[in-house]
Amino acid sequence: MVADAGAKTGGGLADRGSPDPSVGRPDCRRPPSHGRLPEGRLPPGPTCRVDLSQPLEFSFLGRPVTGFAGDTVASALYASGVRIFGRSLKYHRPRGLYSMEGESSNTLMAIDKVPNECAETTELKAGMSVRAQNVRGDPQTDRFAFIDRFDRMMPAGFYYRLFHRPYRLWPLFQNGLRRMAGTGVLDPRRGLEEGIRGEGGIRVEGGIEVEGARMGSDVRAERYLNAEVAIVGGGAAGMSAALAAAERGLRVCLFERRPWLGGHLVWRVRDFEGEPLHRRAEKLAVRLRAAENVKVFTSSPVTGVWGENLVTGFTSGAEGDLFRECHWECRAKTVVVAAGCMERPLVFNHNDRPGVMQVGAVWRLARTYAVLPGGVAIFSVGDDLSLEAAADLADLGVKIRAVADAREAVRQDAALVTALEERGIPVLAGWAASRVMGRKQVKGCELGALKGEASRRFGCDLVVANAGMQPRIGALATVGARLAYCGHTHTYQPVELPGGVFAAGSMTGLRDPRAIEASGRLAGERAVESCGGSAPGPDESLPEPAPGCDIRHGPDIGRGAKAFVDFDEDGTYKNVVESAAQGFDVPELAKRFGGFGLGPGQYRVAGQNLAMIMADLRGDPVETATPTTVRPPLVPPSLATLAGPGHDVHKRTPLHGELAARGAIFRRAGPWLRPRYFSEDTSCRKEIRNVRRNVGILDSSPLGKFRIFGPDALKALQRVYISDMRKAPRGHCKYSAMCNDMGQLVDDGVVIREGENEYYFTTSSGRAGSTVEWFRYHTRYDRWDYNLVNLTDVLGSLNIAGPNARRVLERVTDDEVSNEVLPYLGCRRITVADGVEARCLRLGFVGELSFELHVPSSYCQFVWDLVVEAGADFGIRPFGLEAQYCLRAEKGHVIIGAESEARVTLTDIGMGWLWDCGDTAAKKVGAPALRACEKQPGRMRLVGFRVDEGSGSPRDGAVVVDGAKIVGYVCTTRRSEALGWQYGMAMVREGVAVRGGRTHIRQEETPGRGESCSATVVPTPFYDPGGRRLRA
Amino acid sequence: MTFRLTCPVCGKRDVYEFTFGGQDRGPRPAQEGLSAEEHFRWVQFRMIPGGWEGGEGGGVREGDRAAPQEEWWYHGQGCGVWFRTTRDPGTNREVEGGGGG
Amino acid sequence: MIRGRGGEPLSTGPGDRIRFRRSPVAFPATPPETELRDGWTVVLRYEGEDDHPGPWLVDLSHRRRWDFQDRDIGAQTPMDLPVPERIGAVGVHGPLVINRLNRTQVAIWHLGDGDPPSTPPETGFTETTDGHCMLAFVGPGVPQALEHLTPLDLFDPARATPFLTQGPVLHVPCQIVTFAVDLVVMTFARGYGETFALAALESGAIEGLRPGGEESFRRAFA
Amino acid sequence: MRLRRLWRPTPLKRHYDVIIIGGGVHGLATAYYLSRDFGITDVAVLESQYLGFGGSGRNTAIVRANQRTPENVRLYDEGLKLWRVLTDELDFNLMFFNCGSLLLGHSEASVGAFRMAASTHNFMGVHSELLDPRQCAEVIPGLDISDRPAFPIHAGLYHPPGGIVRHDAVVWGLAKGAAAHGVHIHQGCEVRGIDTDRGRVTGVRTSLGDIGCNRLGIMAGGYSSAIAAMLGIELPIHPLTIQAMVTHPLKPFLHHVFSSTAYHVYANQTLKGEIATGAHMDPQVNYTTDATAYYLKHQAEALVDLMPALRGVRFMRIWAGLADMTPDMAPIMEGHLGYDGLFLDAGWGYFGFKSGPVAGKYMAEYMATGERPEILEAFQLKRFLENRYSGETAAVMKYGHWD
């Protein structure tokens, strides 16, 4: 599918994807194996994409149905006689095929239990299970069909005026409304058991009947492309543009939503310059695939063109793919939009009946899928392509009783009119369909003159209708082109394009194949020029766009019948009138009030018609009509496709495997996974006790570790740290904190002077990733000469803590680590195991004798093995973050975020002693805020408390109350084995923060089940207040 | 809408690679004699002239168009450099030649 | 005799132990041929590698690397290497590769054969070998495999190889050097190594990406 | 059923007693209460585009009162009770679907935060409940409570009084109510300047001409800082783009609102059956409402991780609106802001919809009496100059409040 330059074969996206039948398509003309045409099928012609010799069995409503390779779900169902594909949202009206492009919810079906799949465009696969949606019982005899008769009670916005009086009844109505809401059915438990996030490796799906295959355990791919030129649309214009750009050596990506290239030429057999049109498209496709630098993506709808030419979309794979859909994003320098046209729906009475279809749908059923669309047809159309279709379909055996053309005769292609008349088909210029007869299936059609009273009725089983063509403006609109109504083509055309965006092809109003190709070439050359390539040759002159059709709706609109402007939410012409009457008389308001273009079809079905009709109702010229905003995605991608492989790329410490083997229960901490517990006991009693009594070991590798050096290093430290860093002595850990400009605590750690203009410092693990950013931000105007190196990942960190810590350490190093040489807050470099250099920091976060070893990450496992082996006699065992959390809380040490928040400053949480208020010249970050709030009354404060014995046992988050007022909350509280009582820290209003004061704590996790207790404000630290243990 | 910024080191990159650092307000004021109110204004208060251009469903609107502003960005997913650029809050686009300060 | 978790022999006395080093990456594949180098167990080849045309993902985390910073970096010759003038430029000098990261900083990688130099005493140097995971993408199909991992334009025909790109791969900030259409080497924070490599193999498998040994990289780099 | 215009076109007068800039929920509610409760009917609401163009029509319609601090809980709780009252008063069905909301927590720390919220709410008589993961899955079947997601579910804060309201209906209902009391509503009237005289607000310059007034309310949501800038007023408000999207409609299967701060996602199923879901904000100030491909993907990644069944659902529309963010995620409701007669009701961030009617009620009182209602004490501008944040968010800012 992708013609990568140098693409190899062997499982890549490069050679997978939908086979492109435009190049060599012998199979599809093979007759069915048993020699007889299947029911409902035409003899396969030169443009047929269905292989009638390859039947595919699937089921509809549990009944077996046979389709053929190359069918879509819809074409196979239609060929087998299915006419009602589902029921409409509000009125439960029967709905059938309409555009074969999936433009409305009419043919959204449940396929293999996935709701809202588009039957018109989904390729048929054997074994599919297909069901109709919004149906009670059989779609033929839907039990809610009666609602259709109550439309008079349901004018636009009726639900805002009903059901709320008296209010107590509203919940009943609300539940009733909810039951009627939505179309597809989703089982919310689906996918929970399937293990969708597989553990590595690609899963190749075996059989497609596998439940869950479409849920997408196989949907795992995403792809990012870079190109000079991205092309939206693989029709004649898009291909020509691609060739023009590729010839100049640019990288081109072309995206085509259909499974094949060629746009609307591929099903046209009309002769043009001596060969049928489809041959012309095929030749272009062959040239394109031979071109270098071009990647061609078929079955790849574009979901949006975003700012600065980012094109996004997805590729539907073919059977046997490793994945079903691949999300891609293409960053392009330029974009050529050649998205072609769609038919503007014709609004007329009962225009939603099964059997009313657009020209393209009928034509492609016959020409692409070899399906006989109907026996007797009436056409009501508004452009020449439709006239060509009528003639072609007549040749294929469809009896066409009449063709109404909304245009005046002078606007028609006379040759086509002649061709129709030669076939005995009357052409009624200035006429349009006014009404369809038949409920579940078209039985007849009334045509009426647009001027005057004349009308005629015909019996038929097919009504082929459109109001002319409208360009697929989605890609242009989403990228920010300014569009305006063009009074000549009666379409919205770009009048101003963003940089590097070009439009080409039939969407610009061109109809002549040669002109379409020329416009593509021109756009391709402009793109080359825009990329800085050589200027294009002299402008090929393009003909004027063909005149368009401005019909608003059929005659006799709304009289005793519903005429739909929007199929998805059953928005009728009458509803537009009603919306306007209630003041919602611009499209944006009417859209929201009446529900036009809010369903799966979005702006595509309702957009232009709503704007034109509203202009008429307001009495404004149609040029002033502003259509509703086009919003992406232009084609709806599934969440599985967008989510892609969902890799969970996170950080692991050098000891991850070791810790996992030791039963660690991991939690996410910023980008890291870290052990929280080492047993199911979340109170971590054993881990805590072991640190207090013996010795524990903590993997603290995520700790931020940095080197700062250079002539201005000290200045930078003075700026971001709140303490006076000039006082940091060599070989000593200077503990300090960083604040933000509001004086709030953002980080703490130690700084160690290691030499002249050379410092080593640590940050909390959560801040390690933004420390360089923080330093550089706060010194960005200063032009200071200092250098920072992030050593966080270079060095792992092992914290050996507990009364036996030194004895363990002494076993693995020959260096002196006594209290004299390495006292509390000391730091020195030691050698572990005769060869591994380590920084050894004497810190006391957990309140015991403790050493932090910073060793190169690659040696971490080695050093761990050694330490654990050496510590075995002393009962060394790992401890996790929860144990550390409790141990430090007993010491009253603050953890950022746990005992600090946005309302409090460094001084509020009792750490004001760190602040060096003298050095204003350093412009310390946060100093002015601390100064302002230092003595401010009424602030919140962090206090320690002791829960009064026997009064209760509050937990983190309980609130502190004073009478009827909440005056604070508990940040952290635990019952301590070492202390023998429950301690805690709380953030409280100033008045509460009185030492010895009694506070009331209340928690109520469940209404009515509140618990209260009392506590006494006590000083911190709770444990070892003199700090003897950590200085041992 | 997705847009790109011009990193002075790495060139044009998707905006989601960067961290926003706010309007360029010049070096931090001297702290000597700085009042609390002055400081807190300097930290938090901003003027962001606005209006919007070619609003959805509207034509191009005259009048109060947003003024492009100098601002700081950090290329966190790339080279790790702070730089200044000019961006128009009315269009959410870097102004031509705004990159690389 | 005590064995380490990786099966490395450990004796009881610290002095006799093999001071083994660990890469952040362990591929789910069987290496028939490894080599112990400066404590690292280096995989030279994986099983079945010879029957596979590529692309390969090669772990080079054991290759030594340095960070060098200086305000006036243009006037410096770290390790006797000329500093590339343009930011984003890459110099290849024998076994050493020097990448100009920004105004004041270069990265030096030892990618070629032979013993790596030791860290020079100048203040500006920091050895960062242990801070990164280093991976090479080698062989035919590298561009296609990388399209599944990053939106960065690593094969912009307008840039002359080798060149440096700094940006996200699998959302992780990376330094990436494109040496050729079939050779790309990148470094990123070591902590991501394991999950990054697995994700790369998982997404790259669509294009045939498989673990490769150091030999395949050496062939490509030579 | 007789169909009448909900609000009649009115002539644009050259002078009004009160002018309100912004035809969204806040502006219309203020006008409604001014005219209904205080007899001040010489009021014009000026809307530059169409009613509900801004955040009022772009939010995900979630209403709740499970805020963090008592001052905020009190205000939002009163707001939550107004939906029923207004439905009756306005005789317009605002379609309050009282489905309750479930906030998901993904860490040990979130359990404490939820316990604090639940304790605060229940102490104040607002129903909230701390749930464990199993209970979360009972409330919302389909949530993946295994350890498979990148951020496994640890706890839930269930808040039964919350729900969703048909957001457009609120705009239209309030417009109907205000117009019935004589308020003039002018759409397509863009304010381009503000006139003052000797410290008083005297009028506005608009795309439809100059209009005089005695009192002026800036209630323009995300555009409020732009309006304030016309008077050279600096505010601690950043307008940021926030995005939302809906899926194809489905039969009801999600019967509550759920949200997760770790995933930056909130979702509910509308009465029409779509899953409406909102995302986080881009950090840079701007006045555009452009959607980005990034969020479409981000949102899908988050949703399928939380609720795997959503893999088979398709997004059909994405859009964006503006959130007027303050550093503490609480609003600024201020009178006589630098000029006599100038009132500001802004800085609601992404809480602007649920607070609309209650804010309008008290802003009307403020504008009518000139006295600040007691309930608004906590929302003065000066708290930013005194470093007294409201505590609505515990998160500490980095360089400024955009991050």
B77–C contact, CB cutoff 8 A: yes
Same-domain check for residues D181 and D287: no
**CA dist C120 to A187, A343, C106, Å?**
64, 73, 15
Residues of D in contact with B59 (CB under 8 A): none
Contact D229 B61 (CB under 8 A): no
List CB contacts of D51: < 8 A, sequence separation 6 or more.
A589, D23, D24, D28, D171, D172, D175, D185, D187
pLDDT digits (tens, 9 = 90+) for A395-426: 999 999 999 999 998 889 999 999 999 999 99
Q: Which one of A202, A648, A651 makes the best mutation probe of the C interface by having the most chain C beta carbons within 10 Å?
A: A651
Please tell me the distance from the alpha carbon of residue D156 to that of residue D100, in angstroms, as a whole number: 12
Specify the pLDDT at position A400: 97
Specify the pLDDT at position A32: 62
| C and D in touch (3+ CB pairs within 8 angstroms) | no
User: Is pLDDT at A209 greater than 60 in this prediction?
Assistant: no
H or E element at residue C46: none
Specify the pLDDT at position B65: 56
Fold of A1-25+216-343+469-550: FAD/NAD(P)-binding domain (3.50.50)
Going by C-alpha positions, the residue among D111, D260, D311 that lies closest to residue A189 is D311
pLDDT digits (tens, 9 = 90+) for D63-97: 999 999 999 999 999 999 999 999 999 999 999 99
Report, as an integer, the average pLDDT of A666-671: 94
Specify the pLDDT at position A604: 87
B76–C contact, CB cutoff 8 A: yes
CATH of the domain at D303: 3.30.9.10
For chain D, what is the mean pLDDT? 95
Report, as an integer, the average pLDDT of A789-804: 98
Note the ipTM here: 0.95
Cβ contact A70:A389 at 8 Å = no
Please tell me the distance from the alpha carbon of residue A948 to that of residue A953, in angstroms, as a whole number: 9
| D and B in touch (3+ CB pairs within 8 angstroms) | yes
Residues of B in contact with D223 (CB under 8 A): 50-52
User: In chain C, positions 73-92, which contact chain B (CB-CB < 8 Å)?
Assistant: 87-88
Q: What is the architecture, at CATH level 2, of domain A348-466?
A: 3-Layer(bba) Sandwich (3.50)
What is the edge-to-edge ordering of all strands in the sheet holding A431-437?
A431-437, A444-449, A455-459
Specify the pLDDT at position A465: 98
User: Which member of A310, A778, A928 has the closest CB to residue B39?
Assistant: A928
Listing DSSP states for A424-468 in one string gives T--EEETEEEEEEE-SSS--EEEEEESSSS-EEEEE-SEEEE-S-
Report, as an integer, the average pLDDT of A285-305: 94
User: In chain A, positions 104-133, which contact chain D (CB-CB < 8 Å)?
Assistant: 105, 108, 113-116
Which chains does A contact via 3+ CB–CB distances below 8 A? Answer: B, C, D
pLDDT grade for C124, boundaries at 50, 70 and 90: very high
Please tell me the distance from the alpha carbon of residue A551 to that of residue A467, in angstroms, as a whole number: 6
Same-domain check for residues D356 and D252: no
Please tell me the distance from the alpha carbon of residue A290 to that of residue A284, in angstroms, as a whole number: 10
CB contact burial A968-990 (16+ within 10 A = b; e otherwise): bbbbbbbebebeeebbbbbbbbe
Which chains does C contact via 3+ CB–CB distances below 8 A? Answer: A, B
Specify the pLDDT at position D246: 96
pLDDT digits (tens, 9 = 90+) for A612-650: 999 999 999 999 888 899 999 999 999 999 999 889 999
CA A765 and chain centroid, separation:
30
- Catalogue the E-assigned strands of A546-661: 564-566, 571-572
Cβ contact A961:A998 at 8 Å = no
User: Which member of D93, D119, D314 has the closest CB to residue A957?
Assistant: D119
What is the amino acid identity at position A1017?
V
Q: Which one of C101, C102, C166, C170 makes the best mutation probe of the B interface by having the most chain B beta carbons within 10 Å?
A: C166
pLDDT digits (tens, 9 = 90+) for A761-796: 999 999 999 999 999 999 999 999 999 999 999 999
Residues of D in contact with B2 (CB under 8 A): 292-294
What is the edge-to-edge ordering of all strands in the sheet holding B82-88?
B19-23, B69-74, B82-88, B93-94
Nearest Cα residue in chain C from A321: C206
What percentage of chain D reaches a pLDDT higher than 70?
99
Contact A160 D7 (CB under 8 A): no
What is the edge-to-edge ordering of all strands in the sheet holding C163-169?
C163-169, C172-180, C183-189, C132-138, C56-59, C210-212
User: Is pLDDT at D16 greater than 50 in this prediction?
Assistant: yes
User: Is pLDDT at A197 greater than 50 in this prediction?
Assistant: no
Residues of A in contact with B34 (CB under 8 A): 928
Q: How many CB pairs under 8 A join B and C?
A: 30
pLDDT grade for A30, boundaries at 50, 70 and 90: low
Residues of B in contact with C102 (CB under 8 A): 9, 79-81
In chain A, what are the helix, strand and coil shares in percent, each to the nearest 5? 25, 30, 45
User: Is pLDDT at C221 greater than 50 in this prediction?
Assistant: yes
Specify the pLDDT at position A756: 92
User: Is pLDDT at A204 greater than 80 in this prediction?
Assistant: no
Q: At what angle are helices D167-180 and D352-369 packed, to 10 degrees?
A: 20
Nearest Cα residue in chain B from C104: B81
Q: Which residue has the higher pLDDT, A96 or C50?
A: A96
User: Is pLDDT at C209 greater than 70 in this prediction?
Assistant: yes
pLDDT grade for C158, boundaries at 50, 70 and 90: very high
* Distance between B79 CA and the closest CA of chain D, angstroms: 20
Same-domain check for residues D197 and D310: no
* Distance between A548 CA and the closest CA of chain D, angstroms: 29
User: Which member of D116, D247, D400 has the closest CB to residue A957?
Assistant: D116
Please tell me the distance from the alpha carbon of residue A812 to that of residue A859, in angstroms, as a whole number: 14
What percentage of chain A reaches a pLDDT higher than 70?
93
Nearest Cα residue in chain B from C167: B78
User: Is pLDDT at A47 greater than 70 in this prediction?
Assistant: yes
Residues of D in contact with B64 (CB under 8 A): 192-193, 226, 230
Contact A929 B4 (CB under 8 A): no
Contact D283 B19 (CB under 8 A): yes
For chain A, what is the mean pLDDT? 90
Residue B82: domain span: 68-101
Same-domain check for residues D258 and D220: no
Specify the pLDDT at position A15: 31
Question: B47 lies in a domain?
Answer: no
Residue ranges of chain B with per-residue pLDDT less than 50: 52-64, 99-101
Same-domain check for residues D175 and D36: yes
* Distance between B86 CA and the closest CA of chain C, angstroms: 21
Residue A150, classified by CB atoms within 10 Å of its CB into exposed (0-12), middle (13-18) or buried (19+), is: exposed
Contact C131 A329 (CB under 8 A): no
Contact C165 B77 (CB under 8 A): no
Contact C14 A833 (CB under 8 A): yes
Specify the pLDDT at position A535: 65
Residue D150: domain span: 97-161+238-325
Within chain A, all domains assigned CATH 2.40.30.110 are found at 937-1032
C3–A contact, CB cutoff 8 A: no
Residues of C in contact with B78 (CB under 8 A): 166-168, 173
| H helical segments located in chain B | 36-44
* Distance between D254 CA and the closest CA of chain A, angstroms: 8
A304–D contact, CB cutoff 8 A: yes
Count of domains for chain D:
2
Mean pLDDT lowest among A524-538, D154-168, D283-297: A524-538
Contact A746 D396 (CB under 8 A): yes
Q: Which residue has the higher pLDDT, C54 or C69?
A: C69
C28-63+128-221: CATH, from 1.10.357.10, 3.40.50.300, 3.30.1360.120, 3.40.190.10: 3.30.1360.120
Number of Cβ within a 10 Å radius of residue B85: 23
A937-1032: CATH, from 3.90.190.20, 2.40.30.110, 2.40.50.140, 3.90.1010.10: 2.40.30.110
* Distance between A89 CA and the closest CA of chain C, angstroms: 40
Report, as an integer, the average pLDDT of C171-186: 98
User: Which member of D114, D274, D399 has the closest CB to residue A777?
Assistant: D399
Chain A residues with CB under 8 Å of a chain B CB are 306-308, 310, 331, 480, 482, 586-588, 626, 628-629, 741-742, 770, 772-773, 776-778, 780-782, 920-921, 923-924, 927-929, 931-933
* Phi, psi of A233, rounded to the nearest 5 degrees: 115, 125
Within chain A, all domains assigned CATH 3.50.50.60 are found at 1-25+216-343+469-550, 348-466
Report, as an integer, the average pLDDT of A834-862: 95
Fold of A704-790: Alpha-Beta Plaits (3.30.70)
Specify the pLDDT at position D174: 98
Contact B47 D233 (CB under 8 A): yes
Question: B34 lies in a domain?
Answer: no
What is the amino acid identity at position A803?
P
User: Is pLDDT at A201 greater than 50 in this prediction?
Assistant: no
pLDDT grade for A997, boundaries at 50, 70 and 90: confident
Which chains does B contact via 3+ CB–CB distances below 8 A? Answer: A, C, D
Same-domain check for residues D149 and D260: yes
Structure tokens at B50: 């606005």
User: In chain A, positions 773-832, which contact chain C (CB-CB < 8 Å)?
Assistant: 785, 787, 789-795, 812
User: Which member of A307, A782, A923 has the closest CB to residue B3?
Assistant: A307
pLDDT grade for C28, boundaries at 50, 70 and 90: confident
B101–C contact, CB cutoff 8 A: no
Report, as an integer, the average pLDDT of D257-285: 93
Contact A646 D314 (CB under 8 A): no
Is beta strand B19-23 parallel, antiparallel or unpaired with respect to A745-755? unpaired
Count of domains for chain B:
1
Same-domain check for residues D122 and D257: yes
Fold of A31-180: Ubiquitin-like (UB roll) (3.10.20)
| H helical segments located in A295-400 | 359-367, 384-395
